[in-house]
Structure 1
Amino acid sequence: MFAATEQFMLERGSENFTLRDVSKRGEVSIGSIYLRFKSKDNLVREVIAHQLERVAHDEREMLIRAIGESPNLSDYIPRYVAAYAEMLRTHAPFLRLIMERAQRDPLVAEPGKETARRSEQSSTEAMLRYRHEFGGEDHELKANAAYQIIFSTLARYLSLGSVAETQIESEWASLKTELGRMTLAYLKQDL
């Protein structure tokens, strides 16, 4: 049921499918679906919850790798930006669907907001491991601002939460590189 629902959501870029479609592809009776989930909305919410767990897991793993491979801020920031960008890009098709659903469904909006808060917190804390290399005084403010800039830039490029924009592959590589360089310069600047 889960796999079939995920496939339909990704293939169609929407929730434009029926439980009969899920039943047929998943080779399970409609009665079994209703017995377990009561409605299509509940099934979709469970699939979304599962996807949010995947995003959180992948982000944790990405942060662990980036920190483990980075003895200093100059190594960490470009590595983090590149890895975070690719992690978001991998999950972008589902993140778009989740954000669209969250606009009208509080049972999706709240877990989505919590996932976003955890992402912000863990990314900011990871940057703060290198605070001794930051310029200026308010390191928490700088790390949080850096995360907001990174996420906002990548989310816009990936059309998360907005209408899809034209994406040019060569711009993606350049965007990741320059975003890493700008963020590093900002964090080290003595402001």
Structure 2
Amino acid sequence: LACGIDPFGDKVSEKQIKSEMKALWSSPDLNENDKLRLLMMFCLYFSTGPKDRAKLAASAGLSETSTAALNKIMKIQPSWLPSERKKKRPKPKSDEDRPYDLSRWKPKITEIVPQFLDSSLSSKEFPRLSDTAGFEGYKSTGYVKERKRDGSKSLKCRKQPSWAEKNGKIEHKVETKLGDRFIM
């Protein structure tokens, strides 16, 4: 009754439940309160009429006070009844599949970086990109030789000590150019 299916997984109809309930009324283990609870659940779920309720109460052998309680409980009309449920309108399907955005604001950098990589940024909007003529780019390996403004060498490019040399030879790393610098 509560699930709407039998032990085999088939849907249970109102007639099947009525016949099983009538078989339960003859059971000596079932008292009047239990019969009343079963009838209340059945009548609320299937929305039975007053004539059907009177027949079921008579077949269960309920007293007049229990029958009156059964009739009063039907005035509650809970919202979970199948006939009382409001059907929700389906949402209109959109023509386009839109990605779900976590935020309405998108940073401008998401458009600038791909244009920078394609070298399609305008020099009017980004004039500092044209000043990269004297810059050799980033070095992927090895030391970058830099000169300070006063003419002295940077400590980054000093020679390795002799104890760090393999077999007395210093292996020079190949410097590769990656491209212009881009600071975010």
RCO higher in structure (CA 8 A, sep ≥6): 1
Structure with max Cα Rg: 2
* Common topology (TM > 0.5): no
